[in-house]
Amino acid sequence: MSNHIMASTDIIIGIVGSGGDGVITAGEFIVSAVSSEGLFSFLLKSYGPQIRGGESSCRVRISQNPVQSQGDDLDVLVVLSWADYLKFEHEIELKENTAIVHDEDDPMPEDHVERWAAHPTYRIPFKRLAKEEMQTILTKNIIMLGSLVELFGLPERGIRHAIERKFGKKSAGVVEKNLEALACGKRYVAENITKADDWRLEYEASEPKLVMEGNAATALGAAVAGCRFYAGYPITPASEVMHWMASHLPSVGGTVVQAEDEISAAGMVVGASFGGTKSMCATSGPGFTLKSEMLGLASMAEVPMVIVDVQRGGPSTGIPTKSEQSDLMQAVYGSHGDCPRVVIAPTDVEDCFDTAVYAFDIAEEFQIPVVLLSDQFIAQRKETVRPFEVGRRKVFDRVKPNSEQLSDYKRYRLDTETGVSPMAVPGMAGGQYPASGIEHNEVGDPTSRIELHNSMTEKRYRKYKYIVEKYSFVRTYGDDDAEVGVLAWGSTKGVVKEAIARLQEEGYKVGAMIPQLLHPFPMEAFDQFLAGKKRLVVAELSYRGQFLQFIRSRCAISAPIHHIARPGGKPFTVREITDALREVL
């Protein structure tokens, strides 16, 4: 191999193959390895629409410095199956000098040979080595990792440790076989390949970093907030929330139920919460539609409830393995009648933990349903996070009536400043009351009196004022005195933040606002952000532009608006946002 190398501290590697090739496992091994060396990482997984057994790919970004997004073009492309690569080609972008690594026995398509003639290309017989040297095709992905260690300087020690952790529970023989496969790939490259590119990962090792997946962070945050009942129904891309809960919630005295359908799961959550237990369910687009009936019940009965909606490409089944920001209107308005609820949106994996805690705090304090509006891009990716405050986090528990209030208990008292009235739990002496979806008077008895309906509706909506005052989660980035402002939400934050940093390096001034509390919308904070802005750029993964429509329904915007809106399927890239911003700067 050539000794002519150039240090690189930020590398993006893409791997593509078939289900069963171990593509995602390989990506997770890389992330585990570099994190153990103190590097920052970002793992984005992508699957075909059939979810299981089809094509799969992953993108791993490795950096000496914190990363905000998946980056732009790949530095290294690894192809285990060209037939599967062609299914992902529309979402994979290469540099002029991207290194291509592929199985020698699976030739590159003819039309790509000429197009990619200038790319340094490495042909390695992964499948043949697995069969002939290791006697099992299952080691193909580990042999591939060994080749990347030798070619590009991935940390061998970290990958070895990752293999030991992954397979240690099986047997010493399985661990040893995979370590041999790693050495096999490394040895083959050292003996047979001449390095054609001129860069290699170089870094200074530091304290190991924590890496977590978005859905797991959401579940952990819920558990820390005191959630002790989870009911769910499997649905992509939210199922990992239930997987985590099933594995961990019983250890803290919690209960997990896999319900027969989405409506039943939501009904169980309302019932458990009525009984005094903090409760949650998670779903995705079509499932949220089904749960909206129970959301209305929780809103009318003023029962705390947390629903996680992990958005995916829609409508209907849509693209269940891809991300989109097209459930916003459903999250805000989806139910019958005037149905108050709160909608908050995490912006990255670390934020999934925080917003889950806040979701329960809001639900419990204000006795209101809270929708945590995540998406596939956040939920199923892994990234470096700071250690969470698991044991020191203060959480809010619902207000219960005292003995004086129980002597003449009115569950739905109207004369409360915030709209919140103490909530008894079953078994409290004097705390019995009917709770249902029918309009009621102060003690919970059914009523159809118009003046009471008006008063109760106002009581339920009165909470919004105090929610905004206490929980206006708004993040701003960039230059405070910029004349161009960017407004985005959810998972778009990372690329927006990185795009602004690039433009600032070029001498431009740009500011951005990313609200996490979407409904009720923090209008005062938005007005402050708009002050002095001559142009506003709104970025969202929604063909209809739901976010812009929603903002316009809430706020008067006089500045000209440049709208970056398209369907999901592929997250925004930093270049995409940067190029759009240059048009208005």
pLDDT at 52 over 90: no
For residue 568, which amino acid is it? Answer: G
Tokens representing residue 376 in the block:
């596939």
Q: For residue range 218-238, list pLDDT tens digits in order.
A: 999 999 999 999 999 999 999
Q: ω into residue 315 within 30 of 0, thus cis?
A: yes
Q: Is the pLDDT of residue 7 over 80?
A: no
Mark 357-393 as b/e (b = at least 16 C-beta within 10 Å).
bbbbbbbbbbbbbbbbbbbbbbbbbbbbbeebeeeee
Q: What is the percent of the chain with per-residue pLDDT over 70, rounded to a whole number?
A: 98
pLDDT at 461 over 60: yes
pLDDT on residue 47: 87
Q: Please give the backbone phi and psi of residue 86, each rounded to the nearest 5 degrees, phi first.
A: -60, -25
- How confident is the model at residue 1, as a pLDDT? 45
474-582: in CATH 3.40.50.920: yes
Instruction: Tell me whether domains 212-385 and 474-582 share a fold.
Output: yes
- Of 389-398, 475-484, 488-497, the one with minimum mean pLDDT is 389-398
Q: Which residue has the higher pLDDT, 245 or 54?
A: 245
DSSP state of 252: G
- List the one residue out of 261, 21, 49, 319 whose CA is nearest residue 144: 21
Q: So what's the pLDDT on residue 217?
A: 98
List the domain boundaries for the chain.
6-208, 212-385, 403-464, 474-582
* CATH architecture label of 6-208: 3-Layer(aba) Sandwich (3.40)
The answer to whether residue 274 scores a pLDDT higher than 50 is yes
Give me the chain's average pLDDT, please.
95
| Peptide bond between residue 446 and the one before it cis (omega within 30 degrees of 0) | no
pLDDT digits (tens, 9 = 90+) for 414-448: 999 999 999 999 999 999 999 999 999 999 999 99
CA–CA separation, 398 vs 161, rounded Å? 45
Q: Mind listing the pLDDT tens digit for each residue in 143-164? A: 999 999 999 999 999 999 999 9
Distance CA 268, CA 259 (A): 8
The predicted structure's pLDDT at residue 4: 47
pLDDT at res. 53: 66
The answer to whether residue 199 scores a pLDDT higher than 80 is no
Q: What is the mean pLDDT of residues 166-182?
A: 95
Position 245 scores a pLDDT of: 99
Distance separating alpha carbons of residues 423 and 288, to the nearest angstrom: 26
Tens of pLDDT, residues 510-562: 999 999 999 999 999 999 999 999 999 999 999 999 999 999 999 989 999 99
Q: Residue 486 in 3-state DSSP?
A: strand
Model confidence at 5: pLDDT above 70? no
Q: What percent of the chain has pLDDT over 90?
A: 93
CB within 8 Å of 282: residues ≥ 6 apart = 215, 218, 230, 232, 238, 241, 242, 307, 308, 309, 310
235: left (phi over 0), alpha (psi -120 to 50) or beta: beta
pLDDT, average across residues 301-318: 97
The CATH code for residues 212-385 is 3.40.50.970
pLDDT, position 54: 81
Is 51's pLDDT higher than 70? Answer: no
H/E element holding 468? Answer: helix 450-471
8 — pLDDT class (breaks 50, 70, 90): confident
Q: What is the mean pLDDT of residues 359-387?
A: 98
Assign 3 a pLDDT band (cuts: 50, 70, 90). Answer: very low
Average pLDDT over residues 100-124: 95
| Nearest CA among 194, 184, 218, 275 for reference residue 2 | 194
| pLDDT at residue 197 in the model | 87
**Total residue length of the chain:** 585
Residue 356, SS3 per DSSP? helix
Q: Tens digit of pLDDT for each residue in 66-78?
A: 999 999 999 999 9
pLDDT in tens, 11-38: 999 999 998 899 999 999 999 999 999 9
Q: Each residue of 114-126: pLDDT tens digit?
A: 999 999 999 999 9
SS3 for 249?
Answer: helix
- Closest to 213 measured CA to CA, from 44, 50, 20: 44
